[in-house]
Amino acid sequence: MPVEIPTFKLNNGAELPVIGLGTYARKADPGQFRKAVEDGIDAGYRHIDTAACYKNEEVVGEAINNKIKQGVVRREDLFVTTKLWNDRHGEKDVIPSLKESLARLNLEYVDLYLIHWPMSVDSDGKDMKLDFVETWRAMEKAVDAGLTRSIGVSNFNEEQLTRLLQQAKVKPVVNQVEINPTLTQHKLVDFCKQQGIQPVAYTPFGLISDARPEFAGKDVIKTDPKLGALADKYGKTRAQIALKYLIQRGIVVIPKTFTPSRMVENADLFHFQLSDEEMAVVESYNIDHRCVPGLPFKNMMNYPFTELL
């Protein structure tokens, strides 16, 4: 039986499932992406996260359309997110870029279109120094044109969001940023919530994930017995405790896995509740460490991060 994943209501009334399937992988063949999305939908995932820069929209769309044809889901049951890449921030480029994504996905609309990063960078890697407020004007037009149901941002800091909110006609529904037990982001999460912007956590496992061997030594969370004992108490894994911690903070999570058993595991979070003391145990692993610091953009005008570990 597919799991039932609850939703959070966004500021425009849309319902966003609190667990989505991340689809980014540095190295994977198209068949792996297709199978992951098909397996995810079979397991009960209704929220799928992709991006133009993941170069997998075609196969993600194939998987979605296969599952619609098979009668497993209807289009309206799904919440599909894709993202505008940094080289298409020019006001005249946004709608064409979204139309290209829709053509690759073979969908008539997406549920959410995000500005992937606040910086604009041309295809040679040069800072274009465009104002994201101008980009946002075109994002708003994409809603009017029916190409996307909602619009939002990703990797925006508080100052950038404040400026955007002062100028926007349509408020961003989400800010998708890295949040996990090793980067808890309380200040930004609180700000987003105060403004009615839903925080969405990418890289939700942080340093728990084996996908991050480059940070060996900082990954005490993988072996620390306190977290192990907490996971054992509920018959869960460390990974599940990390996701549960985020959801209990009112944050949407988009874990990526190609492993069907982990898809089920990552969505099996709704029959237990962490106490305040247990939430504090998870918090204690925070070291403000960014797994995704966006270093190639570090010296650019709208680079969003100041603190880097």
Catalytic residues: 54
Rg of the chain taking only CA atoms, in angstroms: 19
In whole angstroms, the minimum distance from the beta carbon of 154 to ligand NDP comes to 4
Query: Is 211 a binder of ligand NDP (CB under 6 A)?
Result: yes
Amino acid making up residue 240:
Q
Query: For tokens 């993988």, what's the residue?
Result: 222
The alpha-helical segments, DSSP class H, found in 50-170 are 57-69, 91-105, 132-144, 158-167
Between CA 54 and CA 75 the distance in angstroms is 22
Shortest distance, position 71 Cβ to ligand NDP, whole Å? 26
Cβ atoms < 10 Å from Cβ of 236 = 19
Does 35 engage in binding with ligand NDP (CB under 6 A)?
A: no
What is the closest distance, in whole angstroms, from the C-beta atom of residue 269 to ligand NDP in the complex? Answer: 11
Tokens of 178: 């890295």
Site for ligand NDP in 242-281 (CB under 6 A): 254-259, 262, 265-266
CB of 178 within 8 A of CB of 202? yes
CA nearest neighbour of 118 among 169, 81, 172? 172
Number of chain residues interacting with ligand NDP (CB under 6 A):
27
Minimum distance from CB of 90 to ligand NDP (Å)? Answer: 20
Of 56, 176, 185, 302, the residue at the interface with ligand NDP (CB under 6 A) is 176
Report if residue 45 touches ligand NDP, rule: CB under 6 A.
Answer: no
**Does 154 interact with ligand NDP (rule: CB under 6 A)?**
yes
Q: How far apart are CA 274 and CA 153, in angstroms?
A: 30
Identified binder of ligand NDP from the candidate list 39, 49, 62, 93, rule CB under 6 A: 49
> Among 10, 23, 150, 151, which residue sits at the site for ligand NDP (rule: CB under 6 A)?
23
Does residue 162 belong to the site contacting ligand NDP (CB under 6 A)?
Answer: no
User: Hey, which residues does 153 pair with through a beta bridge?
Assistant: 115, 175
Residues lying near ligand NDP in the complex (CB under 6 A): 22-24, 49, 116, 154-155, 176, 202-205, 209-211, 237, 239, 254-259, 262, 265-266, 292
